[in-house]
Each structure stands twice: as C-alpha cells, then as structure tokens.
Structure 1
Amino acid sequence: MTASEYLAWERQQETRHEFHGGEVFAMAGGSLRHNALGAALIRDLGLSLRGGRCRVLTSDQRIAAPPGSSYVYPDAAVVFGPVELESGTNDVLLNPTVVVEVLSKSTEAYDRGEKWEGYRRLASVVDYLLVSQTAARIEHFQRQADGSWRYSVSETGGQVRLASGATVDIDSIFAGVFELDGD
C-alpha cells in the first residue's frame, strides 16, 4: 500500500491505523489508566501553555513522521506557531513541537524504537515525553542546540520542563491514576 492509498483508506475507517513502510497497523484502545494519563497531560499542557501561540492536540491527530513514509497518532502533541499540514490534506500534521506517548506493554518497544526514530527526524520536535503507566515517572528527551538529545527522568515530586519553559507536574499528572485499571 502506498502512503496516498493509506490516507484515502484510513479516512474511511471507524478505528485508527498507523502506517509504516507500506504496512498498516491497527491501533488498540488504551486502558482506563492510559486514557486518564493522556487526558491529564492534555489538561496540564493546555493550562501551562495558555496565552501563548500554541495548540495542544489529542490522540486523534495524525502526524507524518517522517512525511510520506509513516503516519502515526501520538497520545498528545503540541504545536508552537502556525500549524503546517501535509500538502493536499487537512488532517496530517507536519510540525509537532512536543510529542507525548503513554507507554503500554503492547506498544512500549514501538514507542521507544520505530516511532521515536520517526519523531526524531522531524526538525520541529524538541520535546518527546514517555509516560509510564506503572510508576509516577516521565522520561523526557529534549533536542539540544547542536541537534543531540538530552535524556532526563522526572518522578514523584518532580516536574518536566519543556524547551518552551512550560512545566508538567508529575504529582498532578499521576493523581489518582493508580486506582484505575492499567495494562
């Protein structure tokens, strides 16, 4: 299947699918804990970034990572400045600045591997967050001025500071989530 065939087909589907190397992969629904973490991140990112020139986007936003070869759905994304869409589309984002993935047993290797490789190839991405479902822990990859990536981990009592200066409070994100079913 070509990328254009995938996009035409995907727009007709009731469920989401990702596309890599000519293959289509169905996206499984997340656990209650996974969804609560995604919602908390979107809420807190929105509050931390309000008043600026940014857009916080949900897990329904398709991203070309990289354009023309892979199409993925992160758990959340942020765009600073004008939104750039793939030519001829109104639903394929080209310029996420922050990308968030909530880890699950079935997707952790993919989120750390192939998906991360695609995001790293986008010049716009400066912050990549991997959110644990099993501990109050967020891993943060931040692009440096020389193009390298700095890795840090924030846990209970800590904060993640994005390149924009916005912060994500670990205790706020994880409040009450361990009472919910996870995977």
Structure 2
Amino acid sequence: MEAEPLKDFSLEAYLSLEQESGIKYEYHDGTVVAMAGGTIEHGLISGNIFGELKLGLRGHQKPCRAINGEVKLHIASFNKYLYPDAMAICGPLQRAPQHQDAIINPTIIVEVLSASTERYDRGDKFFFYRQIPTLKAYILIDQYSPSIETYNRIGDLWQITRTTGLDKSLAIEALNLEIPLSAVYEGVEWE
C-alpha cells in the first residue's frame, strides 16, 4: 500500500516533520510523501554503488566525493527535496540556501529501480533532475537483473548507454571511472 501524501506543507513544517519523526520524506512544493522501505537487494545494490564510488573517487585528479542516500537533494526550480540512492559531487559542495543539510550541485545521480518507483525514476524524476545544471550523468540500476542504464549529458541532449551482464563494467565518463557490475551486484541473489 502506498502512503497518502500530506498536502499544504510549508518548507519549515516539512523540515520539522523530518527532524521530529526521524523518517525521510520527499518534499514536492508543499506536498510531503514518506519514503518507502526498500528490499534487501535494493539496500545491497545502493550500498555497493556508494562504496564503489567512494573508493573510485579516492585520489581522483579533481576533488570529487560520493554521497549516500541519506542526503537530500534540493531542486530549486521545482521546490523539491529528494533522496537519490547515491550521488557524486565534483568541486565544492554547494548547500541549499534554505536548508544547509541539502545539496544542490550533483555531478552524477544514481537510482536503484524497483517495481514501485521505476516509472517515476525514468519519467518525472528524471525530468526534474535534468534541470540541475551541474548534472552530467544519471544512472539507473536494475535490482532484478544485472543491467544498468547511464544517461550522459552531451550539450542539451542525453545519450543512453545500457550495460548488461556481470562480466561487464559500468563506465562513468563524468567521473573518469569504471566499476565492474560484479561489484555493483555483489551479494545479490536472484531467484
């Protein structure tokens, strides 16, 4: 069952709700939606990709850092606060002026797809993310089979690349980084 959205919330009320409840919520210009719990596979994959990003960016030629799914992303043009599964930021970390615990300048965003969020992640959420000027790549990881789609920004266009199979590697051009799919899916068991 999906949670009922809470409507007519001010930003202050939203931030207070999160702080008091300890529950993560997305904020959509006045509407607040509780974040659903994920599957074991989702948790493994998002932890693995964060770990691989963190390791891969250590000692990187330009200062980049990995951020896990606990950090909010603010998209000012839509007055949204979202929680991507992982992000990487290159250059100085920029915080949202209204809320210092949210960032505004990801270089890449990663989402692990689930049956309940796939349409949103591919559709409206990707539309919102595309409005972020610093975003160079959007990565969608399938949790049901070893398959990853990468959308790379080239000027005003987005080029898609699909990488499939545990013997392949995910190339993240924006970070000059390659990650084996076997590492992304480590510990995941499919029926």
TM-score (norm 2): 0.87
Q: Which residue number in structure 1 is paired with residue 176 of structure 2?
A: 165
From 95, 114, 138, the equivalent of 2:105 is 95
Distance 1:34 1:60 in 2: 14
RMSD: 1.6
Q: Which residue number in structure 2 is paired with residue 152 of structure 1?
A: 161
Change (3 A) 1:89 1:20: closer
Q: Which residue number in structure 2 is paired with residue 64 of structure 1?
A: 74
Unpaired runs of at least 5, structure 1? none
In the TM superposition, 1:6-21 aligns within 5 A as: 6-21=14-29
Q: Which residue number in structure 1 is paired with residue 139 of structure 2?
A: 129
- The percent identity for this pair of structures is 31
Distance 2:32 2:16 in 1: 13
Distance 1:170 1:79 in 2: 22
Post-superposition shift, 1:22? 1.9
Unpaired runs of at least 5, structure 2? 1-8
Distance 2:27 2:125 in 1: 11
Distance 1:42 1:138 in 2: 15
How many residue pairs match? The answer is 179
Distance 1:123 1:41 in 2: 23
* Paired residues of 1:158 and 1:169 also in contact (CA < 8 A): yes
Distance 2:10 2:128 in 1: 17
TM-score (norm 1): 0.91
Greater relative CO (CA pairs within 8 A, separation 6+): 1
Deviations 1:69-102 (A, max 9, x none): 1110011111111100011432010001111101
| Structure number having the greater strand percentage | 2
* Paired residues of 1:65 and 1:71 also in contact (CA < 8 A): yes
Post-superposition shift, 1:19? 1.2
SS at 2:99 equivalent: coil
Distance 2:119 2:146 in 1: 19
